[in-house]
């Protein structure tokens, strides 16, 4: 899938720079380390990398609090290191997607420093400022995703400012054209430097209601992640009617797209956390060819890994949207690793990790993989003393935060800290349980999760129907079995997967006339006349001849 459409059906590998590879010995990963390991990423068979933020930042939210959009934080290296990374990636045939955190800045960004000085300076309306209510309380009932009210009192300006996340992440006011222009200029800066695309952080949070109306109370919307259980965060107790996913956002996304379209082959993937409305929002943001190229949601980032849930999400999306596009993901730097989330026991982790990839890589849509999932890494068990994530520190122990999926990549069990760093202590520990799963240890084992990833990604590349081909689900008559076809002008492929931890046998859907079994990596199910016989967590693929 070359050319300008590389993103459509493409596979994007997310790199968390802090935890990929350290080259300076300070215990924190850096850009040079990523460049050094790009050969590994290219060999995996992905199309692109997405780099989590490496911009200048006080790192209160691990870089999702940017204080200079056009600078590289010294912790990660220099702009020159970034240029080298891009040219090495391109040499290896990898696209480079960077993370743009446009919804909010750090409170140490110069824009905020200026804005807070008075109510009438040049940047006075660059953030969402409001007077206190007569009794001194916050302007409305909006809540921060990270707990507590979304408003912080500023003693300098004597007003409240709005923050969807930490108080040190003030939200920009997108109703200001000057703010939009300034942000688009930073995007242009990276386009000029040759990046191929952008992952837009919290893309549905850009605008909030101009009149700052109260959110209505809830019924059943558990917030963006489902993680926001009541004992953790009351965020789910209101409908996010006025603080996010505002209609004005669409016009800004059009401006953003128009900028990208001035350059060849650039793409965008937005992060949409919008509770039960998420896939509908993705459809709104990606249809028409004049907004985002694709978005991803939290639908597959929760606990549920069942044929029912997968079918429902994929079918809902593609049956309601004519030309929008979605990017699926099971893991990222915000949620528990899916080998742990989906497996019911330690022994199930590797087979479940293999099955999950086979499924996501054959569904319709693009795919985001998160570093380390190709090793089947389980969620790291950390102590309170290990924690770095402010979200976890705040809610420990009812929510342990996001550090357990952010521990360093294990490259080799034979080296200190698995080859991640030569420092005495990395910023987060490499769990002992990750050592036998390290890259070097798995590379030589044909049946490893890692080699399964390579084989499945190469299978995906070899079948054009898997990029953009239509998808149609079939009744399997068994809750554990997912059956669908993918078809384009060249071929129609049948896929069937057994999500159960025991063997199963199911009757073939009657529509199938003649089947040529294909060698789907890791799949051992066999076709016996009118039945498919599966092993545990098994798969089946055949070409349908008509």
Site for ligand TEU in 290-349 (CB under 6 A): 333-335
Question: 494: closest CA among 528, 457, 527?
Answer: 527
* Segment near ligand TEU (CB under 6 A); pick from 8-16, 174-182, 222-230, 533-541: 222-230
With CB under 6 A, what is the number of residues at the site for ligand TEU? Answer: 15
Say if strands 481-487 and 492-498 run parallel, antiparallel, or are unpaired. antiparallel
Say if strands 526-528 and 470-474 run parallel, antiparallel, or are unpaired. unpaired
- State the catalytic residues: 201, 271
Q: Is 406 in the site for ligand TEU (CB under 6 A)?
A: no
Q: Which of 273, 307, 324, 419 binds ligand TEU (CB under 6 A)?
A: 273
Q: Is 226 in the site for ligand TEU (CB under 6 A)?
A: no
* Segment near ligand TEU (CB under 6 A); pick from 223-231, 236-244, 288-296, 341-349: 223-231
Q: Which of 225, 249, 268, 331 binds ligand TEU (CB under 6 A)?
A: 225
Q: Are 162 and 130 in contact (CB under 8 A)?
A: yes
Q: Which of 31, 86, 98, 145 binds ligand TEU (CB under 6 A)?
A: 145
Question: Is 14 strand, coil or helix?
Answer: strand
Site for ligand TEU in 49-68 (CB under 6 A): 61, 64
Site for ligand TEU in 108-137 (CB under 6 A): none
Q: Is 201 in the site for ligand TEU (CB under 6 A)?
A: yes
What is the closest distance, in whole angstroms, from the C-beta atom of residue 225 to ligand TEU in the complex? 4
What is the closest distance, in whole angstroms, from the C-beta atom of residue 59 to ligand TEU in the complex? 12
Q: Is 170 in the site for ligand TEU (CB under 6 A)?
A: no
Tokens of 81: 């290191």
Site for ligand TEU in 72-111 (CB under 6 A): 101
DSSP run (H or E) holding 48:
strand 48-51
Nearer to ligand TEU, 179 or 520 (CB): 179
Question: 99: closest CA among 74, 63, 68?
Answer: 63
Question: 33: closest CA among 41, 16, 21?
Answer: 21
Provide DSSP, 271-334.
Answer: E---GGGHHHHHHHHHGGGSS-SEEE-STTSSS---HHHHHHHHHHHHHH-SS--BEEES--TT
Distance CA 402, CA 522 (A): 31
Q: How many CA atoms lie within 13 A of 5 on its CB side?
A: 8
For tokens 């110069």, the residue is 110
Nearer to ligand TEU, 234 or 265 (CB): 234
| C-alpha pair distances (Å), 409 with each of 143, 339, 361, 471 | 34, 15, 22, 35
| x/- letters, 420..459, toward ligand TEU (CB under 6 A) | ----------------------------------------
Q: Sort 322 into a burial class: Cβ within 10 Å, 0-12 / 13-18 / 19+.
A: exposed
* Segment near ligand TEU (CB under 6 A); pick from 220-228, 407-415, 477-485, 517-525: 220-228
Q: What letter would DSSP give residue 213?
A: P
Q: Is 227 in the site for ligand TEU (CB under 6 A)?
A: yes
Q: Are 426 and 22 in contact (CB under 8 A)?
A: yes
What is the closest distance, in whole angstroms, from the C-beta atom of residue 61 to ligand TEU in the complex? 5
Q: Which of 10, 147, 224, 378 binds ligand TEU (CB under 6 A)?
A: 224
Q: Is 191 in the site for ligand TEU (CB under 6 A)?
A: no
Q: Is 187 in the site for ligand TEU (CB under 6 A)?
A: no
Q: Provide the binding-site residues for ligand TEU, judged by CB under 6 A.
A: 61, 64, 101, 145, 165, 201-202, 224-225, 227, 273, 333-335, 402
């Amino acid at each position: 899938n070359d050319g300008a459409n590389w993103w459509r059906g493409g596979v994007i590998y997310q790199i968390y720079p802090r935890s990929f590879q350290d080259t300076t010995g300070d215990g924190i990963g850096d850009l040079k380390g990523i460049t050094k390991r790009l050969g590994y990423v290219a060999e995996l068979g992905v199309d692109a990398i997405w780099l989590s933020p490496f911009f200048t930042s006080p790192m209160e939210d691990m870089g999702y609090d940017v204080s200079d959009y056009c600078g590289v934080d010294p912790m990660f290296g220099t702009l020159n290191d970034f240029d080298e990374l891009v040219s090495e990636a391109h040499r290896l045939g990898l696209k480079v997607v960077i993370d743009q955190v446009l919804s909010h800045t750090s409170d140490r960004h110069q824009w905020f420093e200026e804005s807070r000085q008075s109510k009438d300076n040049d940047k006075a309306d660059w953030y969402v400022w409001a007077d206190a209510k007569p009794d001194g309380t916050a302007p409305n009932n909006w809540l921060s995703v990270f707990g507590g009210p979304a408003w912080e009192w500023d003693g300098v300006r004597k007003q409240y400012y709005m923050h969807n996340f930490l108080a040190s992440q003030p939200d920009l006011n997108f109703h200001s054209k000057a703010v939009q222009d300034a942000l688009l200029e930073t995007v242009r800066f990276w386009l000029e430097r040759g990046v191929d695309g952008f992952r837009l952080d919290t893309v549905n949070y850009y605008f909030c209601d101009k009149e700052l109306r109260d959110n209505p109370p809830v019924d059943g919307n558990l917030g963006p992640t489902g993680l926001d259980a009541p004992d953790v965060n009351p965020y789910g107790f209101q409908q996010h009617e006025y603080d996010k996913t505002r209609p004005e956002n669409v016009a800004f996304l059009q401006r953003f797209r128009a900028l990208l379209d001035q350059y060849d082959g650039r793409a965008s993937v937005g992060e949409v956390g919008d509770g039960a409305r998420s896939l509908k929002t993705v459809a709104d943001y990606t249809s028409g060819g004049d907004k985002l190229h694709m978005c991803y949601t939290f639908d597959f980032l929760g606990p549920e890994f069942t044929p029912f849930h997968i079918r429902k999400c994929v079918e809902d999306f593609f049956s309601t949207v004519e030309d929008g596009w979605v990017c699926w993901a099971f893991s990222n730097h915000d949620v528990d690793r899916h080998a742990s989330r989906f497996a019911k026991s330690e022994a199930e982790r590797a087979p479940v990790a293999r099955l999950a990839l086979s499924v996501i890589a054959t569904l319709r849509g693009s795919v985001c993989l998160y570093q380390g999932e190709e090793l089947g890494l389980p969620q790291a068990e950390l102590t309170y003393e290990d924690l770095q994530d402010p979200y976890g520190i705040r809610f420990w122990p009812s929510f342990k935060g996001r550090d357990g999926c952010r521990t360093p990549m294990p490259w080799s069990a034979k080296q200190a800290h698995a080859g991640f760093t030569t420092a005495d202590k990395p910023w987060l520990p490499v769990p002992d349980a990750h050592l036998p799963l390290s890259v070097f240890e798995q590379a030589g084992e044909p049946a490893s999760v890692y080699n399964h990833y390579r084989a499945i990604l190469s299978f995906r590349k070899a079948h054009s129907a898997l990029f953009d081909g239509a998808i149609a689900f079939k009744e399997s008559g068994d809750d554990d079995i997912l059956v669908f076809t993918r078809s384009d002008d060249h071929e129609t492929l049948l896929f069937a997967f057994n999500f159960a931890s025991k063997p199963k046998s199911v009757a073939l859907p009657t529509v199938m006339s003649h089947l040529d079994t294909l060698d789907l990596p890791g799949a051992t199910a066999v076709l016996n006349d009118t039945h498919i016989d599966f092993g545990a967590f098994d798969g089946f693929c055949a070409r349908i001849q008509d």
